[in-house]
Structure 1
Amino acid sequence: MKKLLLMLMLMAPLATFAQKFGKVNTQTIMQNLPEIAKINGELQATAKQYENDLKSMQDELKRQSDAYDKAKSTMNPTAQKQKEEELNTLYQKIQQTYSDNQQALQKAQQDKMQPVVEKVRKAIENVGKTGGFTYIFEEGAAVYTGTNVEDVTAKVQAEINKMK
């Protein structure tokens, strides 16, 4: 029994050497995909629209605030308080719109990127299966990479091109 256990312990490192490891740079892959440029353009257009909407709201707040400052001395206290509440409400609406726009932009980014991420993940999986890899790591995530690790970034890019 001891000999069997000793033999298994000696063979364990051999099994480790039989494993095949790969690394991939998904950032490089994503940057080279034409879908990413399109998505970025769409998101920038949406962000610009949100920015323009907020700018017009801010301009309206400034216009009303300036008008209030000019007319404040001739207003009675009740009218002053009412106008200040209106300005405060408009200010809060601007803040809420900004927050809502940020959340909508993040959701749009996630929704648009999900199919691309799935496509890259599927390509990595296909390269892993066809190449007989035990593991494929994200480049830069490993603390140490030995010489027996293959960079499969180009293979994944080729796999994505086959998917088109």
Structure 2
Amino acid sequence: MKQFKTLVIAAMMLVGGSQAINAQAKTAHVDVSEIMAKMPAMLDAQKQLEKLSATYDTEYKTMVDEYQGKLKKYEQEAATVGDAANETRSKEVQDMQKRIVDYRDNAQKELQTKESDIVKPIMDKVKASIQKVGKAKGFQYVFNSEGLLLADGPNITADVKKDLGF
């Protein structure tokens, strides 16, 4: 019975000791937003997206201006033209409205797709760099600084920027 107690106590100490070892995992943090905001490839991507967005905005504004012009003209002439013409014009205005809404929706979808296509490879590169730097420095876990209430460990943001070349 005494040997059994000794064995149980030894097992408990072994389990407790391994938990203490596991509790001391090396951790660090990195500010991914700062890296993305200052990364030259991301700045170029933002410029491309802004240019594309401006193109869509210009076309959208042209369509809306044309719509408003026709609507104003048709409202002024409504009393002087026949019912058939007013009905045709009403249908034309509704069709224009639908084309404008469809254009806006498609432009938003295309912008989101383009943004995803451009940003994903950049984000993958940042993630790979974080993993590389984290492993090189012997960290088991690297957390994103966003949302951390306490970031008392090493900050490897500068190291990741250096690895990415900026």
The normalised TM-score by structure 2 is 0.89
What SS does the corresponding residue of 1:23 show, helix, strand or coil?
strand
CA offset digits 1:4-35 (Å, max 9, x no partner)? 32212331113322x10010001111122111
What SS does the corresponding residue of 1:150 show, helix, strand or coil?
coil
> 1:82 aligned to 2:98?
no
Which residue of structure 1 aligns with residue 78 of structure 2?
A: 72
Larger radius of gyration: 2
Which residue of structure 2 aligns with residue 27 of structure 1?
A: 33
Q: Hey, what's the Cα distance between the residues in 2 that align with 1:104 and 1:78?
A: 39
Superposed CA RMSD in Å reads 1.5
CA offset digits 1:11-63 (Å, max 9, x no partner)? 1113322x100100011111221111111111111111101101110111112
Deviation (angstroms), 1:99? 0.8
What SS does the corresponding residue of 2:139 show, helix, strand or coil?
coil
Which residue of structure 2 aligns with residue 136 of structure 1?
A: 142
Figure out how many residues of one structure are paired with residues of the other and give that number.
159
Which residue of structure 1 aligns with residue 104 of structure 2?
A: 98
Percent identity over the alignment? Answer: 23
Q: Hey, what's the Cα distance between the residues in 2 that align with 1:130 and 1:37?
A: 28
> 1:58 aligned to 2:55?
no
What SS does the corresponding residue of 2:146 show, helix, strand or coil?
coil
Deviation (angstroms), 1:142? 2.9
Runs of 4 or more consecutive aligned structure 1 residues displaced over 4 Å after TM superposition: none
Q: Hey, what's the Cα distance between the residues in 1 that align with 2:131 and 2:91?
A: 58
Which residue of structure 2 aligns with residue 155 of structure 1?
A: 159
